[in-house]
């Protein structure tokens, strides 16, 4: 299985998004580089609105992810409740 990944700008909002991703995907690896945080996982990863809202303590829409997103790898599927990344092989 190949790795999917997300890279986020290292800032106060991303910190909570990363916490949410770690909670929903216990197998992810988090790597800190200058000014950015890279989160990778084998095959699949999901960012759930509900968990991010809980961590942030406010409403959060999935497309808001774009404000802090630097790059990603994997097939994307997004709806009102989640954004997922996956490889089919």
Partner 1 sequence: MAAKKLSLKDKYSLLTRDLDWEFSYQDRKEAFPFEEFEGIKITDWSKWEDPFRLTMDAYWKYQAEKEKKLYAIFDAFAQNNGQLNVSDPRYVNAIKLFLTGISPQEYQAHQGFAHIGRQYGGVGARVACQMQSLDELRHVQTQVHAMSHYNKFFDGFQNWSHMQDRVWYLSVPTSFFHDARSAGPFEFLVAIGFSFEYVLTNLLFVPFMSGAAYNGDMATVTFGFSAQSDEARHMTLGLEVIKFLLEQHEDNVPIVQKWIDKWFWRGTRLLSLVGMMMDYMLPNKVMSWQEAWEIYFEEAGGALFKDLARYGITMPKYAELVEKEKEHVSHQTWWTFYTHGHAAGFHTWIPTDEELDWLSEKYPNTFDKYYRPRWELARKLEAEGKRFYTKALPQLCTTCQIPMLFTEMDDPTQISYRDTVYKGERYHFCSDGCCDIFNDEPEKFVQSWLPVHQIFQGNCGGPGVEQVLGEYYKMNLGADNLDIKGSPDEKRWKQWKGVA
Which residues form the interface with partner 1 (CB under 8 A)?
A: 2-5, 7, 9, 33-36, 62-64, 66-80, 87-89
Question: Which residue's CB is nearer to partner 1, number 53 or number 87?
Answer: 87
C-beta of residue 27 within 8 angstroms of C-beta of residue 64: no
C-beta of residue 24 within 8 angstroms of C-beta of residue 39: no
Question: Which residue's CB is nearer to partner 1, number 30 or number 33?
Answer: 33
CB of 74 to partner 1, least distance (A): 8
CB of 56 to partner 1, least distance (A): 16
Question: Which residue's CB is nearer to partner 1, number 30 or number 71?
Answer: 71
Question: Which residue's CB is nearer to partner 1, number 19 or number 69?
Answer: 69
SS3 43: coil
CB atoms closer than 10 angstroms to residue 57: 8
- H or E stretch covering 72: strand 69-73
CB of 36 to partner 1, least distance (A): 6
């Amino acid at each position: 299985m190949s790795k999917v990944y997300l890279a986020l700008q290292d800032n106060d909002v991303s910190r909570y998004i990363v916490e949410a991703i770690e909670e929903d995907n216990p197998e992810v690896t988090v790597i800190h580089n200058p000014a950015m945080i890279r989160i990778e996982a084998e095959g699949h990863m999901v960012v759930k609105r509900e968990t991010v809202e809980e961590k942030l303590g406010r409403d959060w829409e999935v497309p808001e992810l774009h404000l802090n997103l630097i790059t990603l790898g994997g097939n994307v599927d997004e709806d009102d409740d989640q954004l997922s990344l996956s490889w089919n092989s």
